[in-house]
Amino acid sequence: MDITSLQNPKIKYIVKLREDKRQRQRDGVMLVEGYDELVLALSSGLKPETLLSAPELVSRSIDIPNADVTTVTRNVFEKISYRDNPDGWLGIFPTPKRTLSDITLSASPLVIVAESVEKPGNLGAILRTADAAHVDALLVCDPRVDLWNPNVIRASRGAVFTVPTVEVESQNALTWLRSKKMRVLAATPSAEEMYTDVNMKEPIAIAVGTEDTGLTDFWMQNADIKVKIPMLGQVNSLNVSIATALITYEAVRQRL
């Protein structure tokens, strides 16, 4: 066993990375925990700086040529883990640097624009929808949560590595969308049209905002289409990830 002490400097550093966004940004790294997430990160071409495993917890092996794996005890791994039931795998990877120019669009692209999403669980769920619906890209505009937060990676189940995702300012995102001849569809309770009654077969970007305030005036004023989801109860908003999934899958349905 390579590391058995909770006071090992490498272990303290990993805990710091888990808890401190500024430390991750300064060092340009992210934590990826879990077999499935690691496999997706590796299959996307990312190369780990460090890999750790706890043999007492591991049930599936990962074959990574020329990679050194540091073994740790169960209690050491549980200290660095950010999951309830860790499976014994964790890696430190360089944070990907993605730009709009890295995105390749299909003939009739479908893009999601997520503005100011603030909860890791919501952003992770949106990423899972984007992966399942095979959207062309996710643009994370003016984010309130770090895209490479360990909890986003966990909540996305690794979809952050399978979906072309770019953090970008809203104005730059809109300029790019216009250059690609894409119309912007804004989800808002104030719209008159139902989301099922508009044409989503054309190149389109689905814009969603925060649960409390929705999209900002910037996206509302620049939207080509505004749609609502029927709300028949007394609560006036849906979870943003659920709203995103409903509208995205309506676009998928129309395109089948």
Q: pLDDT digits over 13-47, tens only?
A: 999 999 999 999 999 999 999 999 999 999 999 99
CA 146 to chain centre: 9
Q: Which amino acid is at 127?
A: L
Q: Residue 179: count other Cβ atoms within 10 Å of its Cβ.
A: 9
* Angle separating helix axes 240-255 and 120-132, nearest 10 degrees: 10
- Per-residue pLDDT tens for 165-209? 999 999 999 999 999 999 999 999 889 999 999 999 999 999 999
pTM for the model stands at 0.94
CATH of 9-94, one of 1.10.510.10, 3.30.1330.30, 1.10.3720.10, 3.40.50.2020: 3.30.1330.30
Assess contact for 41 and 158: CB atoms under 8 A: yes
- What pLDDT was estimated at residue 101? 96
Average pLDDT over residues 135-161: 95
pLDDT in tens, 209-234: 987 788 999 999 999 999 999 988 88
44-97 pLDDT, tens digit each: 999 999 999 999 999 999 888 777 899 999 999 999 999 989 999 999 999 999
Q: What is the pLDDT of residue 210?
A: 86
Distance CA 162, CA 128 (A): 9
Residue carrying the six token digits 């643009």: 139
Of the candidates 4, 10, 11, the residue with the CA atom closest to the CA atom of residue 73: 4
Query: Taking the domain 100-255, which CATH number applies?
Result: 3.40.1280.10
Lowest mean pLDDT across 66-70, 134-138, 145-149: 66-70
Name the residue ranges covered by the structural domains of the chain. Answer: 9-94, 100-255
With CA atoms as reference, report the closest residue to 93 among 8, 141, 34, 168.
Answer: 34
Domains 9-94 and 100-255 in one fold = no
Whether 124 and 151 have beta carbons less than 8 Å apart is answered as yes
